[in-house]
Amino acid sequence: MRQWVSSACVGFVRACVVAAVTMPVPAVWAAAATLWIRWWGGDPWSGTVPFVWACVGTLALARPVSRMVRSLVAKWTGTVIPAGYRQAAPVTRLSTGFWWNGFSYERTKRDALMDQRWRTRWRDPAFWRDLRFTAIAPLTAGVIAAVPPAGAATAVLGFSRSAFLVGVLGLVVAVATAPYAWRPVVPMARRFLRPTPAMTLAERVDELTAQRADTTVAQAAEIRRIERDLHDGAQARLVALGLSLATVPSPWTARSTWP
């Protein structure tokens, strides 16, 4: 009995967390719909403002929501789901004064980093994978996770309004579903948030290519150092040998000095 109560309490808290994490995008769209209903005055352009605002909010929330879900799954179950985000290359300043970010030339480092950040995000398949997850999760794992808090809210309203049958039913639903309502988010995160085998292979190829390039650069630097050491050492020894030979007296000169 104690174990069941503990499991129900932990499950209820986790279900509330999952519901809160997966529902920001629907909340944004609900707010946009509310604004459209209240403020639309017949102008077609005024109706597009809430829609644009909802799209921008969805794009901005895709990555934070997915990161939070990965963190929760890793904390609760020990399952680490790799993000697979592409790492941007460092920006470099050229001799002309412009900054190269891998895509374009910019006048300042700040502009180069900003342009690189947006280009990398739009071209990263992981970003679109996160966006797909934020669109699917509220309708699946989010709805299931919302059952225990909804049952608890129904129980509170039922008992507060003397509708004891409704309160008891809500309490039973909340307690019975609490240990299990948060669990569907785990297989969903594995299915939709982990990189595909092709993406994993491509990332591995890129990593090996970068390691090979670093190794080649290090080997070239080491070869140049050895050549420089050999050249400088041999040259110094040759110069010392020449000076030594120059200081050695000639035998004919030595004979002329005899008595």
The whole domain housing 63 covers 1-85+125-195
> Is residue 136 located within the same domain as residue 55?
yes
pLDDT tens per residue, range 204-255: 665 666 566 567 666 666 777 776 766 666 666 666 666 666 665 655 554 4
- Token readout for 246 is 């120059």
> Is residue 139 located within the same domain as residue 200?
no
* Predicted pLDDT at 257: 47
Provide the edge-to-edge strand list for the sheet that holds 99-100: 92-93, 99-100, 105-106
Examine the fold and report which residue of 158, 174, 195 is the final residue of a domain before the chain moves on: 195
> Is residue 2 located within the same domain as residue 72?
yes
Class of residue 94 by CB neighbours under 10 A (exposed 0-12, middle 13-18, buried 19+):
exposed
At 119, the pLDDT band (50, 70, 90 cuts) reads confident
User: Contact, 148 vs 17, CB < 8 A?
Assistant: no
> Is residue 113 located within the same domain as residue 223?
no
- Token readout for 211 is 């390691």
Q: Which of 38-42, 82-86, 110-114, 187-191 has the highest mean pLDDT?
A: 187-191
Examine the fold and report which residue of 175, 195, 215 is the final residue of a domain before the chain moves on: 195
Is the pLDDT assigned to residue 16 strictly greater than 90? Answer: yes
55 vs 201, residue with greater confidence: 55
> Is residue 32 located within the same domain as residue 101?
no
Q: Provide the number of structural domains found in the chain.
A: 3
> Is residue 42 located within the same domain as residue 162?
yes
> Is residue 131 located within the same domain as residue 259?
no
At 65, the pLDDT band (50, 70, 90 cuts) reads very high
Q: Which of 38-52, 64-78, 91-105, 149-163 has the highest mean pLDDT?
A: 64-78
Q: Which amino acid, residue 196? A: T
Question: pLDDT averaged over the chain?
Answer: 80
> Is residue 214 located within the same domain as residue 226?
yes
* Predicted pLDDT at 225: 72
Strands (DSSP E) contained in 195-237 are none
Examine the fold and report which residue of 195, 221, 246 is the final residue of a domain before the chain moves on: 195
> Is residue 34 located within the same domain as residue 143?
yes
> Is residue 34 located within the same domain as residue 50?
yes
> Is residue 139 located within the same domain as residue 99?
no
Q: What's the predicted TM-score (pTM) here?
A: 0.68
- Token readout for 109 is 């480092």
Render 12-72 in DSSP notation, one character per residue.
HHHHHHHHHHH-HHHHHHHHHHHHHHHH--S-HHHHHHHHHHHHHHHHHHHHHHHHHHHHH
> Is residue 113 located within the same domain as residue 218?
no
